[in-house]
A and B are shown apart, each in its own frame.
Chain A
């Protein structure tokens, strides 16, 4: 049974030049512990979709059901990793990881200290626990942000281009880090990305979206075995999937560009 279910989801923004339909008629079911990636050309509404799921914004039509209840506002059951690292610059790494735990200390088994300690160990940030975010590299910052989200133990992990601001090498290391964490914790995950390799490498299913308005064009099953290994990225099944997804995304992007030109 689906843990998360989007039905006929639509979102229209009112703007100075009339209304813009960002999403229209999105239907998507996500099973428990499944990893979904959403790809599409920029402007296809994939971030809007994630914002709706997180509860930061409300849909204009349709509904989102998570664990049997409609989404109404953000909550710690749906942890969000943002593109711009959401770390409080006045708190140390350790305090940032403890932030959500301090707010809702009673939700957790075990003391906040134990959880923070485990997160510091897992993310390799133990030596940097008392550093401020400004003293960390981009990759370390995003790792600390992921740790602070995992610390509140959300059942769903929503990620909005979490590695887009990182350099290629750091990004690939972070993808492996995320894989490792996810394969251990098995949370339901939804990753918004414009990086097709990243989508296929991490996800069980890749959703390709069309633009203007944002709709689901195709859902592609990524039937690569787990645990995934870095070498798979240069093997035939991976390349075949990547070419297929790239083909669809390009087709949509070109279509979108022509529409704008017309």
Chain B
């Protein structure tokens, strides 16, 4: 048995493995972004021009709507139980504009409800997400703080946020306060956990290199830890945003008399399933828009990360 004293001469692949800098496990939580413009080779290979592109986006939702319309039309399910897409569209139009009165007592109230929900999501997401990132950084940076804080966070994380509803109502009463509290609580955990993960998967070679070049603790944090953890932080922020929209509905059903969740629940009590569905779709669309905003911010900040990670095939 002889050691490979000249082991270096065996040809190794020219590409050394890319440093393990990307979000790692974080990537498995959220699927990679669709191969959009900007990624290497993306966008170019879609065949058939813009019409085909539009068709690719529209085909599936159109099929779902058509199927739903047919089901409602043939009377398979009663119209008042499952209104047709056209019924929902008409009532939605009145919800927004107040022009036809189709939504009766809800006519023209959409913007007020939507604004109330958006505000609550924004407020809760902001405090919960910011505090979560801060806690994640502290735990990620310090083994001591990990021992002090992490067990508590892990236990609390496993309590469904909905279980906090009774206590938060007792503490904060009816109104915005319990809603913003619950949303923030829900937004806190994904941000905290993913930030910790992001800090802990930064390559030790990079932190060593920065220290060698003379970086102090503050410079190490700002120039290495934060950018290195950013892919994972953004994954956490995205999950936080998703949870915020779940909890805003829970909070509005239970704690306040405004918002899309309240509208949905109130319409249910008055047996207006068309309004219920319009409210559901409104929540879906607003949630989708806020997710797109987070993704756009992420892609802007993390253009470099797309070079290192798989972005899907065309």
Contacts and interface: CB of A to CB of B under 8 A. Distances in A.
Interface string A160-204: 000111111011000000000000000000000111111000000
Interface string B1-26: 11111111111111110110100000
Contacts of A141: 16
Interface stretch (A64-72, A86-94, A121-129, A223-231): A86-94
Of B10, B14, B212, most A-chain CB atoms within 10 Å: B212
A99 interface: yes
Of A194, A254, A256, A261, most B-chain CB atoms within 10 Å: A194
A34 interface: no
Nearest to A248: B5
A257 interface: yes
B83 to A, nearest CB: 50
B241 interface: no
- Interface range on chain A: under 10, 10 to 19, 20 to 34, or 35 or more? 35 or more
A85 B3 CA distance: 26
B213 A84 contact: no
A165 B6 contact: no
A82 B208 contact: yes
Given A134-B304, A164-B8, A167-B11, A253 B212 contact: no
A23 to B, nearest CB: 19
A198 B205 contact: no
A56 B5 contact: no
Contacts of A132: 304, 307
B227 to A, nearest CB: 5
A148 B215 CA distance: 14
A132 B1 CA distance: 43
A249 interface: yes
Contact of A80 (B8, B21, B208, B304): B208
Contact of A139 (B10, B14, B203, B210): B14
A54 interface: yes
B11 A195 contact: no
A100 interface: yes
B304 A89 contact: yes
Contact of B19 (A78, A85, A164): A85
B7 A86 contact: no
Contacts of B6: 195-197, 246
Given A74-B211, A80-B208, A82-B209, A196 B5 contact: yes
A41 interface: yes
Interface string A50-86: 0000101000000000000000011110111010111
A90 B188 CA distance: 26
A240 interface: no
Nearest to A78: B212
Contacts of A14: none
Given A88-B227, A89-B308, A253-B2, A76 B212 contact: yes
A198 B6 CA distance: 10
Of B3, B6, B211, B227, most A-chain CB atoms within 10 Å: B3
B3 A253 contact: yes
Given A89-B308, A166-B16, A170-B14, A41 B211 contact: no
Contacts of B227: 88, 90
Given A167-B14, A256-B3, A56 B208 contact: yes
Nearest to B309: A134
B304 A166 contact: no
Given A78-B212, A85-B16, A134 B5 contact: no
B1 A254 contact: yes
A79 B4 CA distance: 29
Contact of A167 (B4, B13, B213): B13
B144 to A, nearest CB: 20
Nearest to A154: B212
Nearest to B8: A195
Contacts of A166: 12, 14, 16
23 contacts: A41-B3, A75-B212, A79-B212, A82-B205, A84-B19, A84-B203, A84-B205, A85-B16, A88-B223, A89-B18, A99-B213, A103-B215, A135-B307, A139-B14, A165-B12, A168-B8, A168-B10, A194-B7, A249-B3, A249-B5, A250-B2, A250-B5, A254-B3
9 A-B pairs with the lowest CB-CB distances in the bound complex, closest first: A253-B3, A100-B213, A86-B209, A195-B8, A165-B16, A134-B307, A76-B214, A41-B3, A90-B304
Given A54-B208, A88-B224, A134-B304, 20 more contacts: A56-B212, A74-B208, A80-B208, A84-B203, A86-B206, A89-B308, A90-B304, A90-B305, A99-B210, A103-B219, A132-B304, A132-B307, A134-B18, A152-B214, A168-B10, A168-B12, A196-B5, A197-B8, A249-B3, A256-B3
